[in-house]
């Protein structure tokens, strides 16, 4: 029989549309069958919850709790508890019972009492993993269609409540349980605004690359394996990013205050000024200001060049291009500091390894075009951190990469990424991330931190600027 649309004439001859006549009866039969499956799924999920909450599993649940929260007992709420229970059911292995996941143990203990449909559902649910999804369609009051951003594929999820809490392009971190051709949530979902997409995907992909390095040769490795083993960490990544990314009601077209717009124009001019610092000049015998200022005689020669520019309204001898802010150029070169800039080898490092880190930072930031003042601030940041923390390590490149990344973040410079630095120095990006967090927390770093940042913050609209920049 040919497929008929709901608006086609009904073949029974009633003169009605197919969807309002015989087609409605067919749909009702399909809906009733779907409803039976959904009711069965509801019952199975409740049985699993009762199973893990039974007194007989109190000790097992407590051991899993300590593992999930790293031997800490945080202040509990429904959100944290659901995250733990989802992991406990699907990802926790009962070491004392053959190393089986709890859900598999549940199925095997009840196998003799399960009907064919229940067994089919549980066998499919055992393969379910947490992933990152994007909302691509919403059917109000019924379902959402999600796209898996890590493994591909689209999934229709039946959940009336979720349709009122998300919009297209919203992100969800969740585990989907298949029920015939459609899906349901395991224990809810973490809902995120669209602007989390880029930074969260970057974090996950970095973690995935580390996972691949961690896996032994010959062991199956791919997104399914990663999500099965490390997927629960995605929620932790969300928590970490939430500390850095401010909320914004309109991420697509944020309106910026005039003060913030002025600040953005200054940022673009700063890049223009930075190129001047590394520009060979005939007045300096073909050398750049950055190179020349390393000696006292050289500093005097650069000062003379800048005085001549100031006399000409900030323009070079050729008179080409926009005028320079000579005061800013002097600041970038560190000429406005009493006694000049302190190089890495001039600090009284308490350990030889700290000086090695500082030198690596200095060389790499200079190569990247950071101004002398920015380089000096980065070295100062590392010195202040070592005085407070006194870290121990064997590979200075891990800490050098973290200091470079921290300095770039402070200066709102996106030329350095954790993964890019990891590849450059041959270290794990996760180590850079952990060390960055330690530096930030120990020194209590803030946006536009005047101890280490060369930028002046806009007085008004700071939150909207940060939201715009990090979008």
Closest CA to 294 of 342, 365, 258: 342
CA distances from 41 to 37, 199, 211, 399 (A): 6, 35, 33, 50
Question: Percentage helix, strand, coil, to 5, in the chain?
Answer: 55, 10, 35
The whole-angstrom separation of Cα 304 and Cα 330 is 11
What's CA 321's distance to the chain center, in Å?
40
Residue 414 and residue 384 in contact, taking contact as beta carbons nearer than 8 Å: no
For every one of its 471 residues, what pLDDT tens digit does the chain have, with 9 covering 90 and above?
445 555 667 766 666 665 556 654 444 444 677 888 989 999 999 999 899 889 988 888 888 888 877 666 667 777 788 888 898 899 888 765 457 889 998 999 988 888 999 999 999 999 999 999 999 999 988 899 999 999 989 999 998 888 888 888 899 999 999 998 899 999 888 888 888 888 888 889 888 888 887 776 656 678 888 898 888 888 888 877 766 655 544 444 445 556 555 555 665 666 666 677 778 888 888 888 888 877 778 888 888 888 887 777 766 655 555 566 777 777 777 776 655 678 899 899 999 999 999 999 999 998 887 888 888 999 999 999 999 999 999 899 999 999 999 998 888 776 788 888 988 999 888 889 889 989 999 999 877 788 888 776 554 444 444 444 444
Neighbours of 411 (CB within 10 A): 22
Helix H or strand E encompassing 214: helix 197-214
The whole-angstrom separation of Cα 335 and Cα 232 is 51
Residue 400 and residue 357 in contact, taking contact as beta carbons nearer than 8 Å: yes
| Beta strand 154-158 pairing with 190-192 | unpaired
Q: Which residues pair with 178 in a beta bridge?
A: 183
Place of tokens 């969740």: 174
Phi/psi at 101 (5° precision): -65, 155
CA distances from 6 to 15, 44, 332 (A): 13, 35, 71
Q: What is the pTM of this model?
A: 0.50
The whole-angstrom separation of Cα 248 and Cα 193 is 9
Place of tokens 């041959």: 426
The whole-angstrom separation of Cα 270 and Cα 262 is 12
Neighbours of 209 (CB within 10 A): 17
Helix H or strand E encompassing 137: strand 130-139
Listed in sequence order, the DSSP H helices in 245-371 are 258-277, 289-292, 296-311, 326-332, 352-367
Which tokens hold the place of 327? Answer: 């005061």
DSSP one-letter string for 412-451? T--S--HHHHHHHHT--HHHHHHHHHHHHHHHT--TT-TT
Residues 208-212: contacts with CB under 8 Å, at least 24 apart: 209/419, 209/429, 210/428, 210/429, 210/430
The whole-angstrom separation of Cα 434 and Cα 444 is 15
């Amino acid at each position: 029989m040919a497929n008929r649309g709901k608006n086609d004439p009904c073949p029974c001859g009633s003169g009605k549309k197919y969807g309002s006549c015989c087609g409605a009866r067919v749909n009702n039969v399909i809906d009733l069958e779907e409803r039976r499956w959904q009711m069965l799924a509801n019952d199975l999920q409740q049985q699993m919850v009762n199973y893990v909450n039974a007194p007989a599993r109190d000790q097992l649940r407590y051991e899993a709790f300590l593992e999930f929260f790293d031997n800490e007992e945080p202040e509990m709420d429904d959100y944290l508890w659901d995250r733990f229970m989802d992991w406990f059911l699907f990802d926790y292995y009962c070491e004392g019972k053959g190393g089986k996941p709890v859900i598999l143990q549940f199925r095997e203990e009840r196998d003799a009492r399960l009907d064919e449909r229940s067994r089919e559902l549980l066998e499919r649910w055992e393969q379910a993993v947490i992933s990152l999804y994007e909302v691509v369609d919403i059917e109000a009051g019924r379902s959402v269609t999600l796209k898996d951003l890590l493994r591909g594929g689209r999934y229709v999820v039946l959940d009336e409540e979720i349709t009122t809490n998300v919009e297209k392009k919203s992100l969800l971190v969740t585990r989907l349980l298949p029920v015939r051709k459609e899906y349901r949530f395991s224990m809810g979902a973490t809902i995120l605004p669209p602007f989390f997409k880029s930074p969260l995907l970057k974090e996950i992909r970095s973690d995935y690359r580390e996972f691949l390095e961690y896996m032994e040769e010959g062991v199956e490795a791919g997104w399914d394996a990663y999500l099965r083993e490390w997927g629960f960490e995605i929620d932790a990544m969300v928590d970490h990013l939430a500390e850095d990314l401010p909320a914004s009601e309109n991420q697509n077209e944020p309106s910026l205050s005039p003060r913030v717009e002025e600040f953005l124009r200054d940022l673009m001019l700063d890049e223009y000024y930075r190129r001047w610092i590394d520009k060979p000049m005939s007045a300096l015998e073909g050398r750049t200001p950055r190179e020349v200022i390393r000696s006292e005689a050289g500093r005097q020669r650069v000062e003379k060049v800048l005085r001549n520019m100031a006399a000409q309204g900030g323009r070079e001898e050729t008179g080409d291009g926009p005028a320079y802010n000579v005061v800013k150029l002097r600041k970038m070169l560190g000429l406005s500091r009493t006694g000049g800039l302190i190089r890495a080898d001039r600090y009284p490092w308490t350990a030889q390894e700290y000086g090695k880190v500082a030198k690596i930072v200095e060389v790499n930031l200079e190569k990247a075009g950071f101004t002398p003042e920015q380089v000096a601030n980065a070295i100062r940041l590392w010195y202040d951190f070592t005085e407070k923390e006194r870290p121990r390590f064997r590979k200075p490149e891990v800490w050098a990469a973290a200091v470079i990344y921290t300095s770039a973040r402070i200066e709102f410079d996106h030329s350095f990424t954790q993964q890019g630095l990891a590849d450059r120095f041959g270290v794990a990006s996760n180590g850079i991330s952990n060390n960055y967090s330690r530096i930030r927390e120990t020194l209590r770093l803030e946006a536009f931190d005047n101890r280490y940042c060369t930028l002046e913050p806009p007085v008004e609209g700071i939150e909207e600027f940060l939201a715009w920049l990090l979008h």
